[in-house]
Structures are given as C-alpha cells and as structure tokens.
Amino acid sequence: MKKLISLFFFILAVIITEAQNKNLDYFIQHALTSSPLLKDYESQLLSYDLDNKIFLATLRPQVNGVSNNMYAPVISGWGYDKAITNGQQFTEMISVSKTLLNRKSIASKLESLKIQGESVSNSIKISEQDIKKVIVDQYITVFGEQLQIDFYNKVNIMLQKEDSLLKILTQDNVYKQSDYLAFVVTRQQQLLYTSQQETQYYYDYAALNYLAGIIDTSIVSLEDPQLYSAVLSDFTGSLFYKQYQLDSLKLENDKMLVELNYRPRINLFADAGYNSSLDYKPYKNFGTSAGINISIPIYDGKQKKLQYSKINIEENNRLFKKEYFNNQRKQQILQLTQQVKSTERQINQINNQIKYAETLITVNEKLLASGDIRLTDFILSLNNYFTAKNMLTQNYINRLRIINLLNYWEK
C-alpha cells in the first residue's frame, strides 16, 4: 500500500512539474496551428487542386440542353417580317461540344497549375520559418527576463541576510550608521530593479502568448531553449533559392503558353433534337447536326513579341534579385557567425570574472563579520558581482538571439 501511495505522489509530482513548465516547442506549435496566414495558404493549395480538376473536366465533351422558343405575331398586317422570323420558332435539343487541344497545350496548362501549387507550398515553409523566428525571439526575451528575476531573487535573499548581520554590527558600533544606510540604499535599489523586471516580464510573457495565439493569463516557468547553430545548407538547397527556381519555371511556362495561344484552335460540336418554325410538317422537324470551328491567328498588332519582351523583363529582374539576395544572405551568415564566436568568448571571460568576484565576496563576508573591511569596499564587491552576473545573462541571451537569426537561414 505504501508503494502505491508513493507511486501516486510521484506521478502527481511529474504531472505538476510538466504543467508548471513550458518549452519553446509548445509555443511554436501553437503559433503554427493558429496562424491565419498558413490557413490561407492551405486553402490556396486546395483551390489549386480544384483548378486542376476543373481544367481536366473542360477537356471532356461539354453537354448542354438548349431550349429557344419564340412567337412573333402579325396582326392586321403589322408585325415582324416572316421572312426573317418565320413567325415562330421552337428549338429543343441537346448540344455537345469539345475543344481539341494538343498535348503541349494540356501539359503547359497543367504545369502552370503545378508550379502555382509548389510556389504556395514553398511559401508555407518560408512563412513557418518567419513565424518560428518571431516566436523564438520573443521566447528568448521572456526567458532572459526570467533569468534576471531568478538572479535578483537570490541577490535579495543574500542582501537580506547581510542586512541582518550589518544591523547588529552597526548597533555594536563596528560600522557607522552612514555606512549601513549606504548598504540599505543598495538593497532598496536591488528590490526596485526586481519589481521593474517582474512588470516587464509579465508584459512580454503576455506578448508571447498573443503571438502564439494562446489565450492564457497564467505565468509558468519557461525552459531554456538551448539553441545551437545549425549546419547551414548551400543557397541552392534552401527554400529561398527554390522560390527563385519556381519563378524561373513559371516564366518559361508563360513563354510556352504565349506560343500555344498562336496556334490554330479547333472546336467540334454536334446537336440533336427538335427545331421547327411550325409552318410545314412540324412533326418531321426532328434531326441532328454536326460541325467544326477552326480559328487561325493571322495578325494581332505584334502582341506576341510584346508579351515575350514583358516576360524577358521579369526574368532579368528575377536574376538580379536572386543574385542580390544570395550576396546578402552570405554576408549576414558571415556576420552572425562571427558574432556568435565573439559572444561565446565574452561569456568565457565573464565566467572567469564571476569566479573571482564570488571568491572576493566570500572573503569579504568573513572580514565583514569581524569588522576588518570597510563597508563601502564590501558594497563595491557586491556591485561588481551583480554587474558581472547581469553581463553574463545579457551575453547568453544575445547569443541565443544571434543563433536564432542564423538558424533562420537553415532551410
């Protein structure tokens, strides 16, 4: 029985711990799920799939029911000329038509729809990268403030302990009242910093929930995002390059569509039913007809050449933007990589400084109890320690921000 109770409390503790901590993936998944932009892109994909099916449906014979019924009376010699109207006409028939397209025309149209779909799919992936970048950046902001608050709380506990000791030493005339008041001011400033940081933390945490589309006012501890620099792919393997590649395929297909628009068009048609003016043996006016329409472009004012020129302009612009984007991407990756290395060096230096500051505080605390150190020197050692710890947190957060920017180019 005791084992069951212990197991119950262990499981309960695990559940509570999981409920009290949220990681980066939790916010990213919520943001991706609730993004209206991604929903819109997904709807576009479904629409392009339907466009593809609609186009294939237009290649099949189109069957329509036709009913034209007209009566033009002539009263006392007044009315439409019967030679034109026949007085009346009744048409009830079924018509069938089919446009004949060659294989290249069909393939080009299907290719156009395919490229549009792939472009939207690629835009979805790029948008997901953008969303992740924004969420990670805000998460890092909140996590950094959380680290600051945790540190400030530890500092406040330490200062409270030192305050109790100094109060006794001041009462015993080991230290001057003015020195003690200087320490109290330092402690009050630290409490104010803590309060200000907590206010900003609550604001930024709410902003994180808002960006992720989460309706929740509770505040729970965030886990360390633990970001690491990804192995960046070559530009030709990235999502951004693929978009330029798809644009190139689209322009090539546009040229083909222009060419195909200037080929002869053939349309077959047939109908069967009843068509009569009711003037002569209307009961025999059941029949059928069939025919072919051929349209051959001859001259359109050189529109074909102008359309090709327009596509060439778009292609030149595409090449320029691709080259410019590639150069900017390379430059930014180099800069960010250097910043990561520089920040990591600073973190190592600050950690060494903190070790010395902690050792100095430990020594000074012993001297403080015996009154063998000036209180101003002790306060200075505390401030140096606080400054170093703040610098460490800021550099760690900066490193995470830089890695987030660097990992944006991962795909």
Structural domains present in the chain:
23-59+102-262+300-407 (1.20.1600.10), 62-100+263-296 (2.20.200.10)
Poorest-confidence range of 237-241, 249-253, 392-396? 237-241
Give pLDDT tens digits for 323-363: 999 999 889 988 999 999 999 999 999 999 999 988 888 88
Please state the pTM of the whole predicted model: 0.82
Q: What is the C-alpha separation between 289 and 311, in angstroms, rounded?
A: 43
Q: What is the C-alpha separation between 354 and 370, in angstroms, rounded?
A: 25
- Kindly give the residue spans of alpha helices, DSSP state H, lying in 61-102: 82-85
Give pLDDT tens digits for 258-306: 888 888 888 888 888 888 777 778 788 888 888 888 888 888 888 888 9
User: Would you state the pLDDT for residue 343?
Assistant: 93
Write the CB contacts of 240 (distance below 8 Å, at least 6 apart in sequence).
126, 325, 329
Q: What is the C-alpha separation between 288 and 306, in angstroms, rounded?
A: 44
In Å, what is the CA distance from 131 to each residue of 41, 52, 88?
14, 30, 68
User: Would you state the pLDDT for residue 83?
Assistant: 74
User: Would you state the pLDDT for residue 7?
Assistant: 43
At 216 the three-state DSSP class reads coil
Q: How far is CA 250 from the centre of its chain?
A: 24
